[in-house]
Amino acid sequence: KAGVTQTPRYLIKTRGQQVTLSCSPISGHRSVSWYQQTPGQGLQFLFEYFSETQRNKGNFPGRFSGRQFSNSRSEMNVSTLELGDSALYLCASSIAGGSGYEQYFGPGTRLTVT
Amino acid sequence: GESVGLHLPTLSVQEGDNSIINCAYSNSASDYFIWYKQESGKGPQFIIDIRSNMDKRQGQRVTVLLNKTVKHLSLQIAATQPGDSAVYFCADVMTGNQFYFGTGTSLTVIP
């Protein structure tokens, strides 16, 4: 079974631009969560989608948004990029999300904002 | 807000020794805890989990201990191998299905 895939793997953007990241979950998984990973803050939860609906949201500004399609693939968008948005963005899929359901992480998208 | 921290940012152990990685959490409402391993260039990988109604759970070479009284979680790795070198995260899951991760402990196994 193929794992979680994320595209692109690396991205360089300029301040003020916007970016879209993509995540394809494991086949059959309906929950997709997004995380931001930085050396100082560790992994921080952005949001979770389940059956095309945002079910949970972390404490990030409205510049961070996402969506999920009917095939469970998910995209994450960051508008008006700031230098502090440079991070590894990870997505994780699980069958149903929440406690008791193992999350499988993708390799991440490394975003650098200059 | 929720905070999940690890006691040591780095840990070095001799190959064959046992490793213990500790984690503290702050919210009594957390009901599910997970340990992840992250190797360089990869996403976190599930190691073992434990529910709040348990004190101990064992897997293959790994044991997780949960002390709810002091809100402390530990991961024990038996007979540590070079392939165990990675960053280890604890995470807790509260009602609402939000995962909170610590900043990680970097484990280095010395051959």
Chain A residues touching residue B45 (CB < 8 angstroms): 105
Closest residue of B to A9, CA-based?
B41
Partner-chain residue, chosen from B42, B97, B103, that has the shortest CB–CB distance to A42: B103
Is pLDDT above 50 for B3? no
Token pair for A93: 């899929």
A78 or B30, greater pLDDT: A78
pLDDT band at B92 (very low <50, low <70, confident <90, very high): confident
Partner-chain residue, chosen from B41, B51, B101, that has the shortest CB–CB distance to A43: B101
A73 CB neighbour count, 10 Å cutoff: 16
For the stretch B36-85, pLDDT in tens is 999 988 899 999 999 999 999 999 999 999 999 999 999 999 999 999 99
A43 or B1, greater pLDDT: A43
d(C-alpha A94, C-alpha A103), whole Å: 5
User: How open is the CA angle A63-A68-A71, to the nearest 5 degrees?
Assistant: 160
Please give the single-letter amino acid code of residue A35: Y
Partner-chain residue, chosen from B32, B36, B98, that has the shortest CB–CB distance to A100: B32
Q: Give the model's pLDDT for residue B96.
A: 60
Nearest partner of A6 among A111, A94, A112, A108, judged by Cα? A108
Q: Is A95 helix (H, G, I), strand (E, B) or coil?
A: coil
Q: Give the model's pLDDT for residue A1.
A: 66
d(C-alpha B46, C-alpha B74), whole Å: 15
d(C-alpha A63, C-alpha A20), whole Å: 12
Which residue in the block uniquely carries the two structure tokens 């469970």? Answer: A72
* A60 at interface of B, judged by CB pairs closer than 8 A: no
CA distance B7 to chain A (A): 14
Token pair for B104: 């990680």
The torsion angles phi and psi of A82, rounded to 5 degrees, stand at -120, 160
Q: Do A55 and B103 touch (CB under 8 A)?
A: no
Of the ranges A71-80, B1-10, B36-45, which one carries the lowest mean pLDDT score? Answer: B1-10
Q: Give the model's pLDDT for residue B29.
A: 80
Question: Distance between terminal CA atoms of chain A?
Answer: 37
Please give the single-letter amino acid code of residue A67: R
Is pLDDT above 90 for B21? yes
Please give the single-letter amino acid code of residue B51: R
